[in-house]
Amino acid sequence: MTLKPLFALPLLLAVPAAIAAPATGELAQVQDHLRAVDSMTADFAQTDRNGKTLGGVLTLKKPGKIRFQYEKGVPILIVGDGKALWFLDYSVRQKQRWPIGNSPLGVLLDPSKDATRFAKVLRGGDPRTISVEARDPRHPEYGQITLFFQRNPAAPGGLMLQGWIALDAQNNRTTIRLSRQVFNGAVADNAFRWRDPTAIGGRN
């Protein structure tokens, strides 16, 4: 089971605002979509570099809340509780913490982030899709992330987030694909509570 590449993502978008990227119509549309999404739920499928796929449910609520609930039998939980992003491993009773602002998921969780300052649109042959790459060339150890959107007039900002591909500094690739996306529905704050794996009896 390879889960680490997904959670290596806190390095990927910790990009300083000084990185300039020329704003384009498509990038501005992506920014409009991100700002129009207050909450989202979706099924996700995570595929690692070895081709192993794990599924689960993604729940997002701005500002700062996100939860990757893996399928039954996977003792891992990734959750942002509005203050920090946590990686919780119940099999070995360990937890790791990152500030939300240093997470690549910050681009999804913080509506004030300006994606035009650290991202660029990748040109492709399909006019129905938009691909956006974010990376810091001054810090290759952060890796990079590429977000994929499909044009959909019924979705916020006219775009539907389809998923992303993350590459870490060792060129390990993790792919996240989303399905059954629901935007701006009611999501309770208690959806982002978690049990401490270091405590006796802690579980996800």
CA distance 170 to 178: 25
The pLDDT profile of the chain, 204 residues, written as one tens digit per residue, is 444 434 444 333 333 332 333 445 888 888 889 889 999 999 999 998 888 999 999 999 988 899 999 999 999 999 988 888 899 999 999 999 877 655 556 667 776 666 666 778 888 778 899 998 877 666 666 677 889 999 999 999 999 999 998 887 778 888 999 999 999 999 999 999 999 999 866 556
pTM above 0.85, yes or no: no
Which candidate, 150, 152, 163, places its Cα nearest to that of 44?
163
Q: Which residues contact 125 (CB under 8 A, 6 or more apart)?
A: none
Instruction: Quote the distance between the C-alpha of residue 11 and its chain's center.
Output: 12
Spell out the domain ranges in the chain: 4-179
Architecture (CATH level 2) of domain 4-179: Clam (2.50)
The per-residue pLDDT for 139 is: 64
The per-residue pLDDT for 46 is: 94
